[in-house]
Amino acid sequence: MLIHIVCWRYKPEVTEAEREDHRSRLRSLSAAIGCVRDLSVGADILHLDRSFDTGLVVEFDDLAGLDEYTVHPDHQAVAALGRELAMQTVSVDFIRPDADNETPDLG
């Protein structure tokens, strides 16, 4: 299984309504893009100096799924919105072995 994590730190002027709209659009990707196995989005609850404002975790079967997601028009639209709202974005993608402890196909 491939895990895709993205976190956004919004610009100070971004309103709570804009932040929630971004989160809502991110959540909608689960239904819109068939290769998404699971998707979670949430607002930070700790508000530490190191914290980001919004986090996204998406699970795919393999790298081909992430590639499909990356170029999907709905993802492209919400990614553009995130770039517009954020002063900083970080991401990490890694392989988590499935229940049988097998490494997924990377394409």
pLDDT at 55: 98
> What is the pTM assigned to this prediction?
0.90
Question: In terms of Cα–Cα distance, which of 38, 53, 45 is closest to 89?
Answer: 53
Report yes or no: 4 and 91 within 8 Å, Cβ to Cβ.
yes
pLDDT at 97: 85
CATH 3.30.70.100 is held by the domain 10-95: yes
pLDDT at 98: 72
Report yes or no: 83 and 20 within 8 Å, Cβ to Cβ.
no
pLDDT at 102: 56
pLDDT at 104: 52
Rg (C-alpha) for the chain, rounded Å, is: 14
Rounded to an integer, what distance in angstroms lies between the CA atom of residue 14 and that of residue 30? 24
Cα–Cα separations (whole angstroms), residue 71 to 8, 9, 57: 20, 23, 17
Domain extents in the chain: 10-95
Rounded to an integer, what distance in angstroms lies between the CA atom of residue 6 and that of residue 4? 7
Mean pLDDT (10-residue bins), the chain, 107 residues: 98 98 98 98 98 98 98 98 98 86 55
